Amino acid sequence: MVARSFADARTILLDMDGTLLDLHYDSYFWNEYLPIRFAQIHGKTPAESTLFVHQLLQQHRGTLNWYCTDFWSGEFNLDIMNLKSEIAHLIAYRPETLTFLGRLTKMNKRVILTTNAHPNVIALKNDMTDVLAHVDEVVSSHDLQSPKEDQNFWRNMQSQLKFEPNTTVFIDDSTTVLDAARQYGIATTVHIATPSVKSQPSPSPDHPSINSLMDLIHP
């Protein structure tokens, strides 16, 4: 059923982190690397640093600030982009993604990268993967001043890009984001059950789930 919807769709909206790119880089950075570097730079114990960082992150989850490197640089008094660059070698595609993107270019569909990532993060990841070469357009929540969890994001995106929700497929690893897209009227929402190569599959009960993007082409 999802594969048929994908085949018939005119527009494909692709999340970046956890959908095209392996979420391990981001999970490792925020959960482990940032607390380590915060402790080193600010003279805190690892336990103090981990508690402080994680508590502050949770306060802003789901907001535009949560995805904003400029905001976090101010909150932690650190150059977040510089720290992200220190482990940029961990940035990688999810398995079979390049094969999927190659097939997608031959299917005459409009492909839009639809991400909450800050433009500086998009640029860093593009430097490492050339991911932007595989899409027609890019939309960041920072350009629209609302995260994908917010209905304003979808209203502003449709107003700007003029896509048709009823002929659109949206693929993301966040069920909260997929819920928002479905609420707005996106016809087909697809959940990535394995956003990180380090994680076990975690299917969504509310959205069709896949492990590989290639499942959409040959289920």
* pLDDT (tens digit per residue) in 149-205: 999 999 999 999 999 999 999 999 999 999 999 999 999 999 999 999 998 899 999
Residue range(s) defining the domain that contains residue 78: 25-89
Same structural domain, 179 and 97: yes
What does each C-alpha distance from 108 to 7, 11, 111, 129 come to in angstroms? 10, 9, 9, 23
The overall longest dimension of the chain from CA atoms, in Å, is 56
Using DSSP bridges, classify how beta strands 168-172 and 137-140 pair: parallel, antiparallel or unpaired: unpaired
Cβ neighbours, 10 Å, residue 217: 16
- Chosen domain end from 89, 112, 134: 89
Angle between helices 34-42 and 46-59 (to 10 degrees): 120
Same structural domain, 115 and 179: yes
Same structural domain, 16 and 40: no
E strands within the chain?
11-14, 110-115, 137-140, 168-172, 188-192, 209-210
**Which among 8, 79, 143, 206 is annotated as catalytic?**
8
* pTM attached to this predicted model: 0.95
Same structural domain, 74 and 180: no
Q: Which pLDDT score, from 0 to 100, does residue 219 have? A: 53
Catalytic annotation present for 8: yes
